[in-house]
Each structure stands twice: as structure tokens, then as C-alpha cells.
Structure 1
Amino acid sequence: MPRFKHYNYDQDSMVVINYQEQLQPGTFEHAVHYLIEHKLDLSVFHPKYRNDDTGRTAYDPAILLKIILFAYSKGITSSREMQWCCETNILFKALSCDTVPHFTTLAKFVSSHSDEIEALFEQVLLVCHEEGLLGNELFAIDGCKMSSNAAKEWSGTFKELGERREKLRRLIRHHLKAHYERDEAETEAELDRDIRRAKTILSLDQAAKKVDRFLKTSSPRMGQGKRRKEVKSNITDNESAKMTTSKGTTQGYNGVAAVDKKHQIIIDAQAFGEGQEHHTLQPVLESVEARFKKLGIADNIYQQGTIVTADTGFANEASMKYLHERQINGYVPDNRFRSRDPKFQNQKAKYGKRRQVSFTIEHKRQPNYTDWMKHRVDSPKGKEIYSHRMSVVEPVFGNIGTNKGLNRFSLRSKKKVQSQWQLYCLVHNIEKLANYGRMAA
């Protein structure tokens, strides 16, 4: 019979652990720790604390940020899970100095410090610039549409929501009538049925009141563009929007990122609660320009010849006019870009045979800014430049979505969702600093 070494689980053991030694150079956790301790100014978070003379002591923002950023790097967005990790995981213990913030503290920190998180994003971007990770040669812009903490079932125009309110009221009247027409319950089964009906009536009444309150306190939501047509509102989060994605229709936000080509550093991160992307190009470009000037990177980044690329979703006449008037070196193709490319002429139709009807317009159309952009992107130089867009921006979304596990936003309202989006983009940029920067050991 073989002999094995003896072991016994019913015993105590004291293990000496140095938390600093757990944060090994070259790792993400070390980069987070070093940046927060030596590079970033967290005094921007201090004004919201009011416990200088009285009140309980608070967790240092440095500790909370380390926990949250490291959790996001592992695909953990649940504040309850973050608290559990601080209790059980040695790396979380090292970053938190063996403290365990309550999950409500962690959740509140993310949702109530949107301006401070944006300032932190800019500080990290400045570190990236100082470390030589920005090339300012080409910027690629793209968006990732994700669901948020809002149900699409609560969406509709004001007319549709009004019809839903009336339908709920009819259902309530129907159940109440059935309830009053019945004799008093005599058996236990009948009593259970009455209880279930009462719960249904209560649930319907709460839903009807929710719709009614929204219609009385809100205004119809108008879309972008010249027509300003009404778009669907959402009772749960009216800043979110119904958006069509490759996985179907979802209620949420579009996380838009502008990425520098050299090391795929995210230079701008914003969340938009609209299904269409074309009107977001101008605010993103203006945000990048203002941020670079504020940080002293460039007074006017676009006058230096920096190339801007974005996919077809960002193309419309107004955006092309903006690029032309600002003399921005942009390449943004329309949705017929590939059909004009000889390389794709022999490509089979995706949906099989279709009957096509064509007609001729007699009058001549005047050239516009979309035509100007078509000429740019259809040129050999334009095709060569635009071919870089996907290799610059797509790996960034792959890292955040696949490696970091972000597949939905867990908050409500544009401001809070943007904070979460910027934190994930911060994780990406810090990871780049850990891999390519000169972080001190």
C-alpha cells in the first residue's frame, strides 16, 4: 500500500505577507498603484468630502480607485463582488491595504464623481504623452453600442406610452370587475386565486402610475437633425436610446472612443444616448482639440496635419461640411464606399437574388460636401489611409469588450454611464503604460 505525506485541514497557520511585494513591476496592479501614488493628483476628489472637523473618516479616493480600476481590468463591475474580492483576494488586499470598503461606498464613488473621473482620464493621458506613447499621426474614431440599466420595454413615443397607460388601466378594470363579481372565497384554492389577482392588480396599478407620472413630468424627446422628429423616450432612463446592433435591438448607450495610432491610446471617451452616430463626430473632435490644448500637447492638433478617420456611421452632410470648413484632414466614407471599389465588384450579394428597379433623374445635382469626401476616400491615398482605421480602433474595443468583459453598462443616466465608460478606457490606457511606458520599479 502506498504511503503519502500527512495533511490536516483542521489547523491554524500564520503567513507573513508584505503587500508591496505582491505588486510586481510590469503588472497592471503595479502600474495602477504606481500611477496613483506617484503620478496623479487626486485632490480633485477632495471638495466633495465634508468631514474635516466632524463626521466619520472616509476611505481615501486612492484606495477606492485602485480597487475599482483593478476590478474593471478583471471584468468585475459588481460592487458587491469587489467587496468580496477585498475580503478574499490577495491582490485586492494588497491594493486596498487590507481594507474592505462596503459595496455601497464603491458604487457611490463611481456614480457620483463623473467630473473627477474625467479629470483623472486627462491626467493619465498626459502621462501617456510624457512617456512618448502618443504619435498624433492618425486618430481613429468608432463606437460600441451596449445595453444599459434600462429596459427597452419601457420605451415609446408619448403617443405609444399614452396608449400603454390606457391599456394598463383597462386591465386593472377587468381584474377588479372579475374580483367584485365573485362570491366570497370558500376554499383555500379560491383564496389563493384571489390573492394572486390582488397582486396582479397592484402590479398593474404601479406600472400605470409610473407611465402616468413620466408623461406628466417629461417632454417628448426630439431627435437630431433638421427635421427634429420625436424619438422614443424611455421611462427608466430617458437619456438612453433604442439602438440597433448586430445582436438585435437594445436599450442603452453608444460608447465612442477616439484612438491614437501609435500605441492605441484612447484620447477621448464619451457615451451618447442616441442610435445614430453621425452627429457625434463634431463633439468628439472638439473634445480632443480642447483637451490637447488644455494639457499643453498641441494648441490646435488638426493644423499639424493629423489624420482623422471614422467609419461610415459617422458620415453625413453636416459632418463632412464641418471637416471641410475646419480644414481637418479627415477620411470618413459613406455607406456606398465599398460598392465603388473595384476590389469588391465580384463579391456575391449577401442576401441572394433581388429584383432591382432603376430610374433616371433628369436634373443635375450640385456637388456637396459628401461628394468632396467621396473623392478623398476613393483616391488611392484615401484607401491606403482608411485601411489603417480598423487595425487602430478595433483591437481597443476587442480588449475592452472581450478581455475586460464589458458587454453592458450597469448604470443609468448619460453622466454616470460616461463615467463607467471612461473608467474602462482608463484601464486600457494604464495597461498600455504598463506594457510600453517607463514605469518605475
Structure 2
Amino acid sequence: MARFKHYDYNQTSMVVINYLDQLQPGTFEHALHYLVSEKLELSAFHQPYKNDTEGRPAYDPAILLKIILFAYSKGITSSREIQWCCETNIIFKALSCDTVPHFTTLAHFVSSQPQAIEDLFEQVLLICDQQGLLGHELFAIDGCKMRSNAAKEWSGTFKELEQKRQKLKRLIRHHLSEHQDKDRWESEEELDRDIRKAKTILTLDKAAKKVGHFLQKSQPRIGQGKSRKEVKSNITDNQSAKMTTSKGTIQGYNGVASVDKKHQIVIDA
């Protein structure tokens, strides 16, 4: 019977590597590293930092951009998962020079500098144009529906939301009336049941106040069509909307991207 050298994929090994050697020419990670390091103007990302004379050193925005954009190219959009990749993946280690930014640092970087990131996108398009990657002839537009972090149960016109609030109030009155009818505890089971009812009342009251506060502070959303009718608002995220997809109705957004025909480069989103 043939014999083969033993191997085990589930093992740890100490290996001496050069980070630049991991970024092979012709790969996306090599192009990303070169663009961020040599071509892009990142001074806008430096302005928020005020640690010239005191405070701990910060992560270089170039490092954060490289690992975040590389993560996006792999479909990774979770800050926690990006941190994990920096701990375990050799390409992430090469791009980050073996640093591991905390997931809160990554999340804050993305959320706190939207204008600088938008300006960076413009720089990338100018470089693509210089390299002859844009055809300037035909642009394709397509969209995809994306879920928002809002429950569709909290959607409705102002009339529907008012009806929801009145229904919640009726439920509260029903539970309170049922609770007040009990003048003594007959058993431990009934005590537990009434405690659960009291919690239900508090939950319903909180929901009713949430709807009432929204109706008081907000204005009805008016559609952009010819009829200019009221469209459904959402208490949690009023910029999102109910939309039908192949997997059912979701509460979300319609993301639209414009792509240049020559090399299918996204020029606007």
C-alpha cells in the first residue's frame, strides 16, 4: 500500500514572511495597496485627528481604508468580521502590516467621515479615466432592493398609525380592567400570570407612546408621483419604505448604481 508524507491542515506554524510579497502584481489587493499608498490624496482623513502633542497614536487612515475596501471586495461588511480577518487572513495581515484595529475603530472610521469617503471615490474615478478604463459612451443603470434596520410592522400612513395607537390603548384598557377585577391572589400560578400581564401592559404602553410621539413630531410623507398621495411612513426609519421583492415584502431601500460600459466600472451609486 502506498505511503505518503503526513500533513495536517489544522496546525499552527511559525513562518517568516514579507508583507509586500503577499501582494502579488495583477491582483486586486496589489492595485488597492498601490492606489491608496501612491495615488490618492488622504489629507481629508487626517483632519479629525488632534493627537499631535498628546494622546495615543492612531491607526493610519491608509491602513484602515485598505482593509475596509478589501473586505468590501470580498462581500464582508461587518466590522467584527473585518477585525477577525485581520487576525487570521494573510492578505488582510499584509494590507494592515499585521495590525488588528478593533471593530469599534473600524465602525467609527466608516460612519464619521462620509464626505471624505465620497471625495475618495471621485479620485478613484479620475484615476480610472486617466488609465483609459472609462468609455464615456454608454452607462447602464440598475438597482437592487436592500433591507433596512427597521421593522415593517411600524409602517403606515398617519391614519393607519393613529388606528394602531388606538388599538394599543384599547388593549391596555382591557388588560388593566382584567387586572383590577382580581381582588386577591388565589394561587402562585395566578400571581405569575398577572405579573406577565403587567409586563404586557408596560410593553403596550411604551409602543403606544412611541407611535404618539412620532405622530406629534413628524409630518406625513407625500409621494413623488403625479397624484401626490400620502405614502406610508415608518416610525423607526422614515427614509425606508415597504417594497415587494422575490422573497416577499421588506422594509428597505432601493439602491441604484450607474456602470460604465467599457469595463463595467461603477461611476455612481
TM-score normalised to structure 1 length: 0.56
State yes or no: 1:46 paired with 2:46.
yes
Q: What's the counterpart of residue 109 of structure 2?
A: 109
State yes or no: 1:178 paired with 2:170.
no
The Cα offsets for residues 304-336 of structure 1, whole Å up to 9 and x where unpaired, read as xxxxxxxxxxxxxxxxxxxxxxxxxxxxxxxxx
**Cα distance between partner residues in 2 of 1:145 and 1:8:** 44
SS in 2 for 1:99: coil
SS in 1 for 2:230: coil
Structure 1, gaps ≥5 residues long: 270-441
Query: How far apart are residue 267 of structure 1 and its match?
Result: 1.5
Q: What's the counterpart of residue 148 of structure 2?
A: 148
The Cα offsets for residues 55-97 of structure 1, whole Å up to 9 and x where unpaired, read as 3332222122112111122221111111111122222111111
How has the CA–CA distance of structure 1 residues 187 and 90 changed in structure 2, closer, same or farther, with 3 Å as cutoff? farther
Query: How far apart are residue 248 of structure 1 and its match?
Result: 3.1
Q: What's the counterpart of residue 58 of structure 1?
A: 58
> Which one-letter code corresponds to 1:176 in the other structure?
L
SS in 1 for 2:211: helix
SS in 2 for 1:228: coil
Query: How far apart are residue 238 of structure 1 and its match?
Result: 0.8
Where do 1:77-88 residues align within 5 Å?
77-88=77-88
**Cα distance between partner residues in 2 of 1:114 and 1:161:** 33
SS in 2 for 1:48: coil
The Cα offsets for residues 352-396 of structure 1, whole Å up to 9 and x where unpaired, read as xxxxxxxxxxxxxxxxxxxxxxxxxxxxxxxxxxxxxxxxxxxxx
> Which one-letter code corresponds to 2:34 in the other structure?
Y
Q: What's the counterpart of residue 219 of structure 1?
A: 219
Q: What's the counterpart of residue 244 of structure 1?
A: 244
How has the CA–CA distance of structure 1 residues 137 and 13 changed in structure 2, closer, same or farther, with 3 Å as cutoff? closer
Q: What's the counterpart of residue 200 of structure 2?
A: 200
**Cα distance between partner residues in 2 of 1:184 and 1:98:** 67
**Cα distance between partner residues in 2 of 1:188 and 1:2:** 72
The Cα offsets for residues 195-242 of structure 1, whole Å up to 9 and x where unpaired, read as 322332222222222212211211111111444321111111111122
- Which deviates the most, 217-226 or 11-20? 11-20
> Which one-letter code corresponds to 1:223 in the other structure?
G
How has the CA–CA distance of structure 1 residues 37 and 204 changed in structure 2, closer, same or farther, with 3 Å as cutoff? same
Query: How far apart are residue 142 of structure 1 and its match?
Result: 2.4
How has the CA–CA distance of structure 1 residues 15 and 183 changed in structure 2, closer, same or farther, with 3 Å as cutoff? farther
> Which one-letter code corresponds to 2:61 in the other structure?
P
Query: How far apart are residue 268 of structure 1 and its match?
Result: 1.3
Q: What's the counterpart of residue 31 of structure 1?
A: 31
Q: What's the counterpart of residue 232 of structure 2?
A: 232
Q: What's the counterpart of residue 73 of structure 2?
A: 73
Structure 2, gaps ≥5 residues long: none
Query: How far apart are residue 124 of structure 1 and its match?
Result: 0.7
The Cα offsets for residues 288-319 of structure 1, whole Å up to 9 and x where unpaired, read as xxxxxxxxxxxxxxxxxxxxxxxxxxxxxxxx
Where do 1:28-427 residues align within 5 Å?
28-185=28-185, 187-269=187-269
How has the CA–CA distance of structure 1 residues 7 and 33 changed in structure 2, closer, same or farther, with 3 Å as cutoff? closer
**Cα distance between partner residues in 2 of 1:142 and 1:261:** 13
**Cα distance between partner residues in 2 of 1:40 and 1:8:** 43
Count matched residues.
268
**Cα distance between partner residues in 2 of 1:194 and 1:5:** 69
**Cα distance between partner residues in 2 of 1:112 and 1:170:** 43
How has the CA–CA distance of structure 1 residues 2 and 194 changed in structure 2, closer, same or farther, with 3 Å as cutoff? farther
> Which one-letter code corresponds to 2:28 in the other structure?
F
> Which one-letter code corresponds to 1:57 in the other structure?
P
- Which deviates the most, 201-210 or 215-224? 201-210
Query: How far apart are residue 164 of structure 1 and its match?
Result: 0.9
Identity, in percent, stands at 78
How has the CA–CA distance of structure 1 residues 8 and 248 changed in structure 2, closer, same or farther, with 3 Å as cutoff? closer
Higher relative contact order (CA 8 A, sep 6+): 1
SS in 1 for 2:173: helix
> Which one-letter code corresponds to 2:145 in the other structure?
K
How has the CA–CA distance of structure 1 residues 8 and 154 changed in structure 2, closer, same or farther, with 3 Å as cutoff? closer
Query: How far apart are residue 184 of structure 1 and its match?
Result: 4.2
**Cα distance between partner residues in 2 of 1:264 and 1:34:** 21
SS in 1 for 2:107: helix
The Cα offsets for residues 97-127 of structure 1, whole Å up to 9 and x where unpaired, read as 1222121221222222221111111111111
CA RMSD across the alignment: 2.5
> Which one-letter code corresponds to 1:180 in the other structure?
Q
**Cα distance between partner residues in 2 of 1:219 and 1:20:** 55
